[in-house]
Amino acid sequence: MIMQAKKFVLLQDLAPLMEAPVSAMRRRSSILRDRWATKMEFLLAVIGYAVDLGNIWRFPSVCYKHGGGAFLIPYLVMLLIGGLPMFYLELALGQFHRSGIGYGICFICTFIACFYNAIIAHAVYFIVISISQFEVPWSTCNNSWNTPRCTNTLNETLGKSGERLSTPSEDYEVLEIQSSSGFDDLGGVKPSMAVCLAFVFVVVYFALWKGPKSSGKMVWITATVPYVVLSILLIRGITLPGAARGIYYYLTPDFTRLNDPKVWSAAATQIFFSLGPGFGVLLALSSYNDFNNNCYRDAIITSTINCLTSFFSGFVIFSTLGYMSELTNKEINEVILNNELINPFVS
Annotated binding-site ranges for Na(+)? 48, 50-51, 55, 274, 306
SS3 150: strand
> How buried is 79 (Cβ within 10 angstroms: 0-12 exposed, 13-18 middle, 19+ buried)?
buried
> How buried is 127 (Cβ within 10 angstroms: 0-12 exposed, 13-18 middle, 19+ buried)?
exposed
Q: How many whole angstroms separate alpha carbon 5 and alpha carbon 23?
A: 27
Alpha-carbon torsion, ordered 271, 273, 277, 279, to 10 deg: 170
Q: 245-262 in b/e burial notation, b at 16+ Cβ within 10 A?
A: bbbebbeeeeeebbeeee
Binding residues: 48, 50-51, 55, 274, 306
Q: How many whole angstroms separate alpha carbon 342 and alpha carbon 200?
A: 22
* Residues 121 and 341 sit within 8 Å (Cβ to Cβ): no
* Residues 340 and 65 sit within 8 Å (Cβ to Cβ): yes
Look up residue 165 and give its DSSP letter. Answer: E
